Amino acid sequence: MKKETIKRIRDFTIDRDWDQFHSPANLAKSISIEANELLECFQWDEEHYNLEEVKEELADVLVYCVDMLDKLGLDADEIVNAKMDKNEKKYPVEKAKGKADKYNKL
Amino acid sequence: MKKETIKRIRDFTIDRDWDQFHSPANLAKSISIEANELLECFQWDEEHYNLEEVKEELADVLVYCVDMLDKLGLDADEIVNAKMDKNEKKYPVEKAKGKADKYNKL
Amino acid sequence: MKKETIKRIRDFTIDRDWDQFHSPANLAKSISIEANELLECFQWDEEHYNLEEVKEELADVLVYCVDMLDKLGLDADEIVNAKMDKNEKKYPVEKAKGKADKYNKL
Amino acid sequence: MKKETIKRIRDFTIDRDWDQFHSPANLAKSISIEANELLECFQWDEEHYNLEEVKEELADVLVYCVDMLDKLGLDADEIVNAKMDKNEKKYPVEKAKGKADKYNKL
């Protein structure tokens, strides 16, 4: 995401004095709530979804993720790369290729 | 997120031939599942969370969001800015300032 | 659910002095967390699920629902019947038959 | 829950010919979606929730749980008691009393 998009999300919160509501726990709830509005787009029919709704709900998830990164002073690239280091070890290509099993069942 | 981080997420999927599992519906489920592992960090105690666990679970949410953007050919900045346009109208500063109410209750 | 099963769930909490953690909000988080462990049984393959895992995760959801009913002094039959009254009006048979649309799109 | 309440939930589905949409995976998604509407009642303020909304959302979770038990031919008492057997072993009173730690951290 571009710096100006992240700044826009930040300013939205600051302008409304909403930082007081953005505890890490409240943001975790919010990410789950929005993730489930996204999931609702695929509740009964996984093929014929409304792309406009999907875009809006996925955007909501992303906005709260940015809020949480901000709140905790985290860098998205740093935490994702640290997790990818782990994922690459948990799911070595030769074992995981073409299989959807969890690492402890590979 | 930097281009090389996004590329790393993409390559991880391609190398394991996992694109076949990444239907939009499966990714929506995955975002919700990871969002709830994040929520679990705050299940019984919202103040004393384990920051290392929070970082890992938030990273997992972000990874699946990148997968979903990729799968649907979406641009994060574009969908977030389109949603922020709506949010700014739904929550005008003069009405929403300092209040956590939903827009339809403001 | 039988009275003795409900009593067993209650005693489990009382014996461990866990009522202090069972705020309505914490129980709501817990229901969502367990619902997502249930969802994880269907994450990548919706047909070939592990029935034993499904039973355990669904049981966890039910246990926290009982805890929440208890905490709020609610009766399951009462709240379900009140909701079914609404559902039957929102989804009249002649309109909803065979369609998975949300009531506002029928 | 009483037999007549369960029958009402069943008839609601049958009358609308909705059994075709009630795959176990779709019901798992639905339980998570409703659990998150319940969670939304506590999103920003965990103390001052709307009890009427809580009752409706908890009822929705219960309805989909009944649908899932039905779909899989499961008995609520049986699966809950089997899970309580495990929980009682995982969380022995002498270790778990007054602590919200996960069993693997006790």
The predicted-structure confidence for A30-77, as pLDDT tens digits, reads as follows 999 999 999 999 999 999 999 999 999 999 999 999 999 999 999 999
- Compute the average pLDDT of residues B63-67: 98
Contacts of C62 (CB under 8 A, 6+ apart): C1, D65, D76, D79, D80
Give the residue among B7, B2, B59, B9 at the shortest CA–CA distance from A82: B59
d(CA B60, CA A50): 25
Residue B106 pLDDT more than 90?
no
Q: Is A31 close to B88, i.e. CB distance below 8 A?
A: no
Residue C105 to chain D, least CA–CA distance (Å): 16
Question: Is pLDDT of B105 > 90?
Answer: no
Residue with tokens 């900045």: B77
Test C49 with D15 for CB contact under 8 angstroms: no
pLDDT below 70 — which residues of chain D? Answer: none
Closest chain D residue to the Cα of C29, Cα to Cα: D39
CA gap D87, D76 in Å, rounded: 16
User: CA C16, CA D99: separation in Å to the nearest integer?
Assistant: 8
Cα A51–chain centre separation: 18
Contacts of D41 in chain A (CB under 8 A): none
Is residue C30 predicted with pLDDT exceeding 90? Answer: yes
Query: How far, CA to CA in Å, does C7 sit from each of C10, D84, D94?
Result: 5, 11, 20
What pTM does this model have?
0.98
CA–CA distance, A79 with B56 (Å, rounded to integer): 7
Asked whether the predicted pLDDT for residue B103 surpasses 90, the reply is: no
The residue in chain B having the minimum alpha-carbon distance to the alpha carbon of residue D46 is B46
Question: Residue D11's CB: how many other CB atoms inside 10 A?
Answer: 12
Average pLDDT rounded to a whole number, residues B27-46: 98
Determine contact: A29 vs chain D, CB below 8 A: yes
